[in-house]
Structure 1
Amino acid sequence: MSNTPAHESLPTIRADRNGKDGALGGVGGNGDGPVVVGLDIGGSKTHGALWVGGTLVREARAGSANVQNVTPAEATGNLRALFEELLAPTQAHDVGLVVAGSGGVDTAADAERLRGLIAPNTPNAAIDVVHDTRLILAAGGARTGIAVIAGTGSVAWGVGDDGREARSGGWGYLLGDEGSGYWVAREAVRRALHRHDLGMRPDTLDTAVLALNGVGAVPELIGLFHSGAGRTYWAAQSRAVFDAARDGHEDAAAIVDRAAADLTRLVLDVATVIGVPGPIVLGGGLAMHQPDLQARLRARLAAEGVTAVVFLTEDPVMGAKFLAGGRA
């Protein structure tokens, strides 16, 4: 395992509608029991869930509310649309607790900013803002261990039995996000451009990348990549690589294997710091829906002696109920 130094603990903001820190006397609600909202705010979408008295009663989805990916105005609008779908008109005041997990929550200021965007939609609620890796671990039913997100971006976070926390990655696409959907797609574009520079004709992977992006020649990818197309757009293009790898394309398989190696490194970094090898709970679009990546991750982790590996089969937002239960 590597000797990566410990990272700062990821912040949790617990505050009532007046911004006062403190635990809830109860999570509020109506005659049917406490009303709790969970939010999983990813790079491409926001997934909300509503529990009343511990029973899941509704889910809703909207665009991303992560201000690293969208403007504050877009985040505000997406949250408003989600809450309008998630809550009945009179339910907003009944919500006692919101548990929101989001990428990009790296400081207390980040968490407070997101709390401010959420608060107008649930005026009586306490709001807990956590890094989205905490939702992953909670959705796996674990209080200690290591959570990994491999989706639009990538990050690992863990907590040991003694409460010590560590994190590796999650620095954003300009600094890292190795093994993420964005990274996989970017590697395919880089490969296509390199092959073109060498005078090679597009092969099946290059052709798939061109088709997905609606361009007819490899050099057009340069302008497109530096245009307004964001990392969410490019992350969606990663499917070309996974499809090609499944069909036996060697370079595509090599990209997937490098992604698995990078994600394994994140796990080992965290395990070195917190002193526990698992369980490892993996979520995010790639980790949950790409069997080839899953198999390669299992093999690489097993080679390092890590065998307690769980790939989520339910959405990470379901971890909000687990966290809410621990809070109450």
Structure 2
Amino acid sequence: MSVHYIPLLAVDGGGTKSLCFLFDEHGQIRGQGRSGSCNYQGVGKEAAVKELILAIRNALEDGKIMGDGVIGEGEFVTDCAAMGLAGLDTEYDRRIIEEFVKDALQHLRIRAKHLIIENDGFATLMGATGGQPGILMIAGTGSIVYGMNDQGEIARAGGWGHLVGDEGSGYWIGKQAIIHILKTKDGRMAPNKLAAHILPYLGLRDAEDLFNWTYSTRYSVEKVGELSSLVSQAHMQGDSFAQSILIQAAKELFACAMAVIKRINLTTKPFPIILQGGVLYHNAFVREYVTDQFKKYAPYGQIETKLKEPIYGMMALAIDHYHKINEGQ
């Protein structure tokens, strides 16, 4: 059987789209491919495999390694394939994802001498820091904090989903607002501006309508996450209850960051801090509160604004591994 050596391979497989790059050891891109989501938790294992195959195949075709979607005879060999895939949160997830990644590569007759599989959040961290040590805090609909030190040790905190975690996220903020409105209805909290913002947005009349909506099929994580912007509006109008929700959100996010910093001992050297997600992008109060906490308790941390796509983080991992292999020869 003939063997065809191909460039290094990186994949960023997110919840909405997947991207594959073929590139050389200097980071020169030789081919690109795109496809839909390969998050098996969202689309199922079979669909995830198909989308992963499609992204890689499109990159091979773009790089003129494969033509017309038909693989020729023989085997394709790459020194390293690095993949950052959504849905990898537990060891159970890892077993499933490793299996379908190997199925996809086998289908394409690609043999990776070394295969790196990480969570897409880790890929985002690597892309944002260029593969260097740092902290990534994400607070969108969900929330999570990732970190890596100069020894390559990785830690994460949060990200346990809306049912039992995601503190400080848009969903968490929206849920707290709903709880506050219902407590106000009971007389357990003083009147506030939250209901005046949230009820009209949802097309509801009163707190009882809100209760019924919460337990109906109209309720969704995404819709509750949208309510966080209304909490911000109430806060800007001077509502102290809205402010208390946002302060607690910022404290929860920073608690995750501190846990990660302590676990990987990011305390003696400068490191970048990347803040991402709608809550941190659009809510100046939460962002400033978190930033102030970093300045107080993590003086070596530096807030960065220049960001790269996650795919570049996986490229950095593959290139680093390639050079380590060749230095050892």
Pick the aligned partner of 1:72 from 7, 26, 44: 44
Please tell me whether the aligned partners of residues 136 and 282 of structure 1 are also in contact (alpha carbons under 8 angstroms): no
Q: Does 1:138 align with 2:126?
A: yes
- Equivalent residue letter for 2:251: A
Deviation at 1:259, TM superposition (A): 1.3
Greater mean deviation of Cα atoms: 295-304 or 79-88: 79-88
TM-superposed deviation, 1:91? 5.9
1:183 CA displacement: 0.7
1:308 counterpart SS class: strand
Task: Say whether residues 1:310 and 2:304 are aligned partners.
Answer: yes
Equivalent in 273, 284, 299 of residue 280 of structure 1: 273
Asked whether the equivalents of residues 65 and 78 of structure 1 are also in contact (C-alpha less than 8 Å), the reply is no
CA distance in 2, matches of 1:318, 1:86: 18
Query: Among 215, 218, 224, which residue is 2:207 paired with?
Result: 218
Q: How far did residue 264 of structure 1 move?
A: 0.9
Q: What's the offset of the Cα at 1:189?
A: 1.1
Deviation at 1:194, TM superposition (A): 1.4
The equivalences for 1:124-203 within 5 A come to 124=110, 126=112, 128-139=116-127, 140-198=129-187
Counting matched residue pairs gives 293
State the AA in 1 paired with 2:29: T
1:100 to 84, 93, 118: 84
When residues 80 and 57 of structure 1 are mapped into structure 2, their CA distance, relative to the original with a 3 A threshold, is closer
Question: 1:110 maps to what in 2?
Answer: 93
Question: Cα distance 1:303–1:98, how it changes in 2: closer, same or farther (>3 A)?
Answer: closer
| Alpha-carbon separation, structure 1, partners of 2:77 and 2:10 | 7
User: What value does the CA root-mean-square deviation take over the aligned residues?
Assistant: 3.9
Q: Please say if 1:260 is aligned against 2:250.
A: yes
Q: 2:317 aligns with which of 286, 311, 323?
A: 323
Structure 1 residues not aligned, in runs of 5+: 1-24
> Separation in 2 of the partners of 1:153 and 1:167?
14
Q: Does 1:55 align with 2:29?
A: yes
Is contact 1:62-1:78 (8 Å) kept? no
**Cα distance 1:196–1:158, how it changes in 2: closer, same or farther (>3 A)?**
same
Higher helix share: 2
Q: Cα offset for 1:260?
A: 1.2
SS in 1 for 2:145: strand
Structure 2: distance between partners of 1:84 and 1:161: 31
Amino acid at match of 1:46: T
Partner in structure 1 of residue 12 of structure 2: 39
**Between the two proteins, what is the percent identity of the paired residues?**
24
**Unpaired segments ≥5 residues, structure 2:** 62-66, 323-329
What TM-score comes out, normalization by structure 1 length? Answer: 0.71
Task: Report the residue type matching 2:120 in the other structure.
Answer: D
Deviation at 1:186?
Answer: 0.6
**Does the residue aligned with 1:51 lie in a helix, a strand or coil?**
strand
TM-score (norm 2): 0.71
3-state DSSP of counterpart to 1:129: strand
Helix, strand or coil at the partner of 2:207: coil
Distance (Å, rounded) in 1 between the aligned partners of 2:93 and 2:126:
21
Equivalent position of 2:222 in the other structure? 232
Alignment partner, residue 293 of structure 1: 286
